[in-house]
Amino acid sequence: MSTTIQIGDRAPDFTLPSGDGRQVSLADFREKKVVVLFFYPKDETPGCTREACEFRDSFDIFGQAGAEVIGVSDDDVESHKKFASKNRLQMTLLSDAGGRVRKQFGVTALFGVLPDRVTFVIDREGIVRHTFAARLQFGKHVEEALGVVKRLSGSTAGA
């Protein structure tokens, strides 16, 4: 599992539809918030539900530390809406139909079919400060991202 976007690279800008009907651009957060961008394979699968719920359970801590949490998968907007409602997910979920943004970030797919699980932490200037890729360490995505967010913000939120 590897990505072409590395620590220190400028994150590619994108605009995608969200589960609540908005068009969301990465540039919307520049100079305002750190962004935790997590790519996951599919709504409603056991691993993806667990990962999303781990982010949900730490959502307020991320917010207190000045970060926006955004999930991205190939699922359509309607699927995201149902997934968020069923699991009480507060974070923004973006629909990357066809995987264009996933490919921009260099997130590969297992056997060319199942997209990998990769999290990026992007600072307020749009620079990637951390990447973490692991298919089965769901909680580790949250733990790693939160540690970096806290360092970037100087926060002790959730400590």
What ranges in the chain are assigned the alpha helix state H? 46-57, 59-64, 77-87, 100-104, 138-153
Q: CA-CA distance, 104 to 158, in Å (whole number)?
A: 33
Which member of 11, 24, 35, 48 is catalytic?
48
- Residue 48 falls in the annotated catalytic set: yes
Minimal CA–CA distance to 41: which of 32, 29, 50, 54?
Answer: 50
Q: Rounded distance, CA 136 to CA 107, Å?
A: 16
Residues 6+ apart with CB under 8 A from 144: 119, 130, 132
What does residue 27 show for φ and ψ, rounded to 5 degrees? -60, -20
92: its two tokens: 């923004």
Catalytic residues: 48
